[in-house]
Structure 1
Amino acid sequence: MVELVEADVEQFYQGRRRMPYIAPWSEERPDRALTWLRGGRLAYTDETEQDRVRGALLLRQGSARGRGYANPAGVHPQRQREVMDRLGCQVCGADTGREAADLWNGRRLFLVAEGTPLHDGAETASPPVHRACAIEALTEEIGCKHLRGAPALALAEQVTPWGVHGLVHDPVTREPCGRHALPYDHHLIRATIAFRVIVRLHACTPITPDELRTAA
């Protein structure tokens, strides 16, 4: 995939607040044209290779970023997967590799909501973030009101795929049985509609908001 730079990603606003790249917009409606295949496997009636990630079926959602109104606390499944795959910034959408090399000794910066501790081996569905974008998020200048309180910040040396978070179904009754996080090798992954992908952080070092702001 082509590496993105800041100028490549258009930014959208609601009022004065910049909306996160992975936020869904009201004109981006989910596609639920699902069917069941043999073996209790969920699929789309017109499925393509892009609809799956390591065997898990990803929820389809229309692509209309910037149209209507945004939900900054929500997540667009395809954009979340996209930036996680290339380790782009969840706020601006641009690549985080240059900043990781120049500022963090090759590590990527992660920011998650309060109550989600980050440590070595932690799993997260929150893609990386740039330092400046993280500072904006912490001050709510981009509308991230769900980050109130004491969000967790950490630097990770390595990021590896782990699994998905989504709506799991009973493959026999075909009834939903709740939202869960599953590793890619779980037997129920075939009966799950994934809302977001999850990665595991390695050599993870927590940092404070003060350390974030004074980093140079």
Structure 2
Amino acid sequence: MSTVGRLVPYITAREGEEPESHLALRATFDRAGLSALGYWDESREDRDPRGVLWGRCSQLIGRDGLPSGRPQWGFVHPARQRETMTHLRCQICVGPTRTPEGYPFLAPSAGGVPRPGDILRTWQPPVCLAHLRVAVEQCPHLQKGYITLMVRSAPLYGVIGTPYQWTARGIKELPGDDTPIPYRASELRWFLASQLVRCLQDFTVVDLHDLAALDSYA
């Protein structure tokens, strides 16, 4: 999982992993006549349990069952991000992250230190105790300042991705950003998800160095 001495997170996209062509998308219509984004050859795996369509992307998997190839730094593989966020697995090694105190999450400190009762939204999966320190040392965003959270409740919130629109000329991709769209929002009918978002709503801000004592999983 490392490349030239640098650990490559499990969720990082690799060179050669390509997203599905725009031509694979089409408009679908339900019994009420409402339109939605879909694939021409759509299968059950293309949507999450709440019915949101996810962007397809090929995967390069080695004999060890892990991603292989040169990393595309700064790009996240949608299926692997969804996998780790759904099951609260480590974004670096895809191992378990649960501890007796909760799930460890890292976040940039640019927004200040959150207070008890605050609700944070994140699309960054948790990090296991064994990889917290290396994540801080190697992630450019965290090197500017970070906070460590021990999270006890992190319900699913929604997704981020790309909005689309049906026009007289066919399907059109719209400008988007990283604003999380909550589940049940009407715009998700014409949305292609790329990352899963959770709410961190019951947490304690902890010192990274103090977590060394938490060396067993529940």
Coarse TM-score class (shorter-chain normalised): 0.7 to 0.9
TM-score, normalised to structure 1, is 0.81
Question: Are residues 1:62 and 2:58 paired?
Answer: yes
- The aligned counterpart of 2:64 is none
Output the CA distance in 1 between the equivalents of 2:197 and 2:189.
16
Query: Which letter does structure 2 place at the counterpart of 1:136?
Result: V
Alpha-carbon spacing, 1:116–1:214, altered in 2? closer, same or farther (3 Å): farther
Deviation for aligned residue 1:213: 5.6
Query: Which letter does structure 1 place at the counterpart of 2:103?
Result: R
Query: Which letter does structure 2 place at the counterpart of 1:122?
Result: L
Output the CA distance in 2 between the equivalents of 1:158 and 1:214.
22
Q: How many residues align?
A: 196
- The aligned counterpart of 2:149 is 154
Structure whose CA Rg is larger: 2
1:1-216 alignment runs, 5 A limit:
12-32=1-21, 33-38=24-29, 39-53=34-48, 54-65=50-61, 66-97=67-98, 100-101=99-100, 105=101, 107-115=102-110, 120-140=118-138, 144-171=139-166, 174-175=171-172, 176-179=174-177, 180-212=179-211
Deviation for aligned residue 1:50: 1.4
| Aligned-partner SS, 1:74 | strand
TM-score, normalised to structure 2, is 0.80
Query: Which letter does structure 1 place at the counterpart of 2:190?
Result: A
Question: In the TM superposition, what whole-angstrom CA distance separates every residue of 1:172-216 from its partner, at most 9, and x where no partner exists?
Answer: 675314233200110001111111010111211122444446766
Alpha-carbon spacing, 1:29–1:209, altered in 2? closer, same or farther (3 Å): same
Alpha-carbon spacing, 1:162–1:171, altered in 2? closer, same or farther (3 Å): farther
My pick for the range that moved more, 72-81 or 154-163, is 72-81
Deviation for aligned residue 1:88: 0.5
Q: Which runs of 5+ in 1 are unaligned?
A: 1-11
| Aligned-partner SS, 2:71 | coil
Output the CA distance in 2 between the equivalents of 1:205 and 1:124.
16
Query: Which letter does structure 2 place at the counterpart of 1:152?
Result: I
Runs of 4+ residues over 6 Å off in structure 1: none
Q: Which runs of 5+ in 2 are unaligned?
A: 62-66
Cα contact 1:73–1:145 (8 A) shared by 2? no
Query: Which letter does structure 2 place at the counterpart of 1:69?
Result: R
Alpha-carbon spacing, 1:162–1:74, altered in 2? closer, same or farther (3 Å): same
Cα contact 2:19–2:57 (8 A) shared by 1? yes
Alpha-carbon spacing, 1:145–1:44, altered in 2? closer, same or farther (3 Å): same
